[in-house]
Amino acid sequence: MSLKIFKDLIKLTAHIKNKKLRAQVVNILKNPQNNNYPNEPVSLEDCPGGPWHHTYRGGLVDHLFTVTTLSLEIAITLKEIYNEDINIDYLVASCLLHDIMKIYDYAYIKGKNKVIVIDNTIRHAEFGEQFLLQKKIPLLICKIVGQHIPWRGEDVIDMTFELRILLASDKIDSNALFRNTLLFDNYIISSIDF
Ligand SMILES: [Fe+2]
Ligand 1 mean position, distance from CA 17 (Å): 23
pLDDT score at 61:
96
- The identity of residue 63, as a single letter, is H
Tell me if 194 is assigned to some domain: no
Q: Which residues contact 114 (CB under 8 A, 6 or more apart)?
A: 186, 187, 188, 189
Ligand 1 mean position, distance from CA 54 (Å): 10
Ligand 1 mean position, distance from CA 156 (Å): 17
Ligand 1 mean position, distance from CA 170 (Å): 5
Question: What does each of the 194 residues of the chain score in pLDDT, given as a tens digit?
Answer: 678 899 999 999 999 999 999 999 999 999 999 988 888 999 999 999 988 889 899 999 999 999 999 999 999 999 999 998 999 999 999 999 999 999 999 999 876 688 988 877 778 999 999 999 999 999 999 999 999 986 555 555 678 999 999 999 999 999 887 766 666 667 887 655 44
Tell me if 26 is assigned to some domain: yes
pLDDT score at 153:
56
Residues of the domain holding 52 = 6-189
Ligand 1 mean position, distance from CA 83 (Å): 27
Ligand 1 mean position, distance from CA 63 (Å): 7
Ligand 1 mean position, distance from CA 31 (Å): 19
Query: What count of other Cβ atoms lies within 10 Å of the Cβ of residue 92?
Result: 26
pLDDT score at 131:
96
Quote the CA–CA distance of 48 and 39 in Å, as a whole number: 17
Tell me if 173 is assigned to some domain: yes
Half-sphere exposure for 160 (CA within 13 Å, toward CB): 22
Q: Which residues contact 8 (CB under 8 A, 6 or more apart)?
A: 61, 65
Tell me if 174 is assigned to some domain: yes
Tell me if 47 is assigned to some domain: yes
Query: What count of other Cβ atoms lies within 10 Å of the Cβ of residue 119?
Result: 17
CATH number of residue 153's parent domain: 1.10.3210
pLDDT score at 184:
64
Give the predicted TM-score (pTM) of the model: 0.91
Tell me if 44 is assigned to some domain: yes
Tell me if 1 is assigned to some domain: no
Ligand 1 mean position, distance from CA 124 (Å): 10
Quote the CA–CA distance of 47 and 56 in Å, as a whole number: 8
Quote the CA–CA distance of 76 and 72 in Å, as a whole number: 6
pLDDT score at 122:
75
Tell me if 52 is assigned to some domain: yes
Give the number of domains in the chain: 1
Ligand 1 mean position, distance from CA 128 (Å): 12
